[in-house]
Amino acid sequence: MSDNEAEFREFVAARMDALRGLAYLTCGDWQVAEDAVLGALAKLYVKWRRVDNPDAYARTAVVRAAIDETRRPWWRREHAHSHAALPDRAVPDGTTGVDDRLHLRSALGRLPVKQRAVLVLRFLDGLSVQQTAAALRLPEGTVKAYTARGLDALRQILGVDPGVDERLEGRHEAAI
């Protein structure tokens, strides 16, 4: 096994779970997320020696692949049918942990895919506006607008007052 192949295997072993989580939060489907990650890693493998920042490349490729998958007509049709009849579940007041993470994931799934991708990259992956814009090939102003609209939509879905953003930010890392 060559040194490049060994480095690539180490990279995949270290980043696979994080990339899969990023893809899932972007598209909302574990199977699509797995496909997006594997496709992105296949592209990265071919370019491994030429890529300066493999982590950024992989993250960008995964988000783009997950977004592309959600644009396919069969995905929209299957996604609409698979989540249409999910029952509502009451969450006891004051609880944290799994219930909060599930509620936040569900809320993220109700956002448009590009808003969701921006929020996931900004708040769950910790990227700056500039890094998010580069990853999604969007202008920085668009990233800022998607961030504001996405956060407003999440506040409305979650029933959070605009002045209580620290609750959202305190839970964001636990959502992965």
Q: pLDDT digit string (tens) for 112-151?
A: 888 988 998 898 888 899 999 988 889 999 999 999 999 9
Residue 108 has pLDDT above 90, yes or no: no
Residue 68 has pLDDT above 50, yes or no: yes
pTM of this structure:
0.57
Residue pair 130/140 in contact (Cβ under 8 Å)? The answer is: yes
What confidence score (pLDDT) does residue 147 get?
92
What confidence score (pLDDT) does residue 103 get?
77
Q: pLDDT digit string (tens) for 141-158?
A: 999 999 999 999 888 888
What confidence score (pLDDT) does residue 163 get?
58
Contacts of 126 (CB under 8 A, 6+ apart): none
Higher local confidence (pLDDT), 163 or 152: 152
Distance CA 36, CA 61 (A): 8
Summarize the confidence of residues 84-101 as an average pLDDT. Answer: 51
Higher local confidence (pLDDT), 166 or 9: 9
Higher local confidence (pLDDT), 130 or 174: 130
Encoded tokens for 162: 């605009």
Distance CA 5, CA 7 (A): 5
Phi first, then psi, for residue 97 (nearest 5°) are 95, -130
What confidence score (pLDDT) does residue 161 get?
66
Kindly list the structural domains of the chain, giving each domain's residue range(s) and its CATH number in brackets, ordered by start. 1-84 (1.10.1740), 91-176 (1.10.10.10)
Q: pLDDT digit string (tens) for 13-66?
A: 999 999 998 888 888 888 888 988 999 999 999 999 999 999 989 998 998 888
